[in-house]
Chains A and B, each alone.
Chain A
Amino acid sequence: MTTTPAFTEETLDIAGTSLQLRRGGSGEPLLILHGELGVPDWLQAHELLAKHYSVYVPSLPGFGTSSFPDWLMSVRDLSTWVSWFVRAHGLSTPLNVIGFSLGGWIAAELATANSHIFSKMVLVGAGGIKPREGEIWDYFLHSAKEAFQQSFHDHESAEYLKYYGKDWTPDEADQVETNREAAIRYLWRPYMHSITLPDLLPAIATPTLLVWGRQDGIVPISSCELYKEGIPGARAAVLEECGHMPEMEKPEEFTKTVLEFLGG
């Protein structure tokens, strides 16, 4: 049965930023931190999660239509911004968080510094740690189109076709470029990893689930192992036949895995 997605989209002047915020559902807050390619819409996974939680999907500074203050220069700045946003928007803490790729890195940084902000944390294909084997795929030696191809294992999956596997309108192409301009500032050097985060992970007290697509073509699965070794008590769930964006490629299986963890 398909239902009409129920979400609102608004622009708020909050946490030092003119912020694009999508939200839907009701109940306890669930914060979604998107990845370095931005988030194109209210996605199917958001809708599924919104049946259980009040889901907040801010476009991080520089992404979507959110503004991009000059002072945001690093992922650590961004993690501080997230904590500012949570407080400024009056979200009750601790709250649950799901971070995708860049968003996972942000959540992990924040959890190392503040053990009281998150009740549970889900890191999905998270950046931030240099993999033991392989390399984090280089977005900036490739085109935007190739980045999405590389992010998906199944190029026939519905949301890939809907958002990426097609010709973009000029506005869509422009939004993609805007997101790349934001990503490059946060990720350029060291490329998509932190030198010190691995040493800080043991400070995390938040129950953590790591979700990785077995065929993640962006952040190799060996980074998942390093996160698991670093964060006390972290569990890992690997989705088979799945790439870097499980929430778009396998929304139902992904949501089920996450809900089990958050509800359990």
Chain B
Amino acid sequence: MFIGHFTEQPWQKEDWPAAWGSGVMEVSNSEYDPLRASGLYNRYLDEKVYAEEMGFDGIMVNEHHSAPFCMNSVANVTSSILARITQKAKILILGNILPIHDDPLWLAEQIAMIDVISKGRLIPGVVRGGGSESLTHNVPPHFNRERFEEAHDFLVKTWTTPGPFRWEGKHFHYRYVNPWAVPLQKPYPPIWVPGTSSRETVEWAARHRYPYIMLASQIDLTQQMYKIYYDTAREEGYEAGPQHLGFMFFFHVEETEKRAMEVGRTLTQGVRSPYDPGAQRPRPYIAGPPGIATRSARALRRKMTAADSSGRTRAGARATFEDQVATHGMVVGTPDSVIPKVRYIMEQLRPGTIIFRTGDGAMDHESQMRTLKLMGEEVMPKLREIADELGLPGPYDIDPRTNEPLAAMAS
């Protein structure tokens, strides 16, 4: 079992008008107060350092652009810092948005340096990005998947082939690829892929034997996506297992149930991700510019978000804090009450990777530190026992590339 920690690092401000929602391509950056930002960035870093101390196996970071709900515009900046200020936790980037890079050699160089400085602790995940990422960096959305795959292939080749060599693809061109930094991890750092509901992405991840981390915290949907992974794996001639599958969900734990519900609720307040249940979605032509998704993917998404018999959309049905707590989309409670709930998730999904999303939304620093402490002292040790009991190896127990057992996770 691999247990990760994540916060989206939201902008926090009391007088954020509800109409601004997540702020994605809605709010002028004249609202960005650098003094407040420096406090927030450093607070989130403090929390990550503490999460390592409390025993998390990995610290996850992500990035979004022109997006107040995620202050971490450049995941590699935070990853660089974590490479030096943490000692043993994996640094999990989910991920670099490959298609929006015009020059992926920068990524190859940055990621190699970060892996080396961290002494081989980097997991440089890759994503295609939402429409707003393509719009802000003005990168053609219609070539998103082509660029994703070409950039991925370029990175892997750069990390595994002694330079110099040429790369002359459709979207990227180099005549002298020979960076003076290659990753420490061989053959190259483990790549993980997060997803919400794109069938093509799951299949692509499964074909590459890359762990797939489901970010949309809906158990039934996740089961469907995992099934695609298992089926694709069989087509590829290998057996997928927990080591290939991850699940992320909101989490808050306190000494009392009452306090947990009271403080946990702040996870659904403040500047929230537009991808979260119940949050205001970005305008459709921003989230999905022409060409970024295939017709079949669009059809699937329509079906998934169609209204249920009660007339509410499926996403909407999980919108309120209480709803989410009731459906295990959010796990909130005391150490004693949350463990059975997480066990339920582990039994239902059999993931080898679990990522706790905590301290998000409008949560304050003290509450986040309190929950991290309880997680380290009471929750995680129990979860590791349950994982052993259920036979849920993580990607550092069983190598997803070979299905061979690995030495116990480096510590």
Contacts and interface: CB of A to CB of B under 8 A. Distances in A.
B176 A141 contact: yes
A191 interface: yes
Interface of B (DSSP majority class) = strand
A189 B173 contact: yes
B176 A195 contact: no
A138 interface: yes
B366 interface: no
Nearest to A189: B173
A135 interface: yes
A140 B166 CA distance: 13
B175 A195 contact: no
A195 B170 contact: yes
A52 B357 CA distance: 80
A90 interface: no
Interface string A170-211: 000000000000000000011101010000000000000000
Contacts of A141: 175-176
Nearest to A135: B166
Interface in B64-95: none
Contacts of A189: 173
B176 A190 contact: no
A130 interface: yes
B271 to A, nearest CB: 40
A135 B165 CA distance: 11
A193 B166 CA distance: 14
B176 A191 contact: no
Interface string A128-144: 00100001001011000
Interface in A188-243: 189-191, 193, 195
Nearest to A130: B168
Nearest to A195: B170
A141 B174 CA distance: 12
Contacts of B168: 130, 135, 190-191, 193
Nearest to A191: B175
Contacts of B176: 141
A190 B173 contact: yes
A25 to B, nearest CB: 40
Interface string A111-153: 0000000000000000000100001001011000000000000
Nearest to B171: A195
B204 to A, nearest CB: 23
A13 B152 CA distance: 49
A135 B164 CA distance: 14
Contacts of A193: 168
Contacts of B175: 138, 140-141, 191
A138 B165 CA distance: 12
A130 B173 CA distance: 12
User: Which of A135, A138, A141, A190 has the largest number of chain B CB atoms within 10 A?
Assistant: A190
Contact of B173 (A135, A140, A191): A191
B198 to A, nearest CB: 27
A216 to B, nearest CB: 18
A190 B168 CA distance: 7
B335 to A, nearest CB: 58
A139 B192 CA distance: 39
Interface string B255-290: 000000000000000000000000000000000000
A195 B146 CA distance: 14
Interface string B143-175: 000000000000000000000001010100101
B195 to A, nearest CB: 30
Given A140-B175, A189-B173, 5 more contacts: A130-B168, A135-B166, A141-B175, A190-B168, A195-B170
15 contacts: A130-B168, A135-B166, A135-B168, A138-B175, A140-B175, A141-B175, A141-B176, A189-B173, A190-B168, A190-B173, A191-B168, A191-B173, A191-B175, A193-B168, A195-B170
The 3 A-B pairs of least Cβ separation, nearest first, read A190-B173, A189-B173, A138-B175
Interface of A: 130, 135, 138, 140-141, 189-191, 193, 195
Interface of B: 166, 168, 170, 173, 175-176
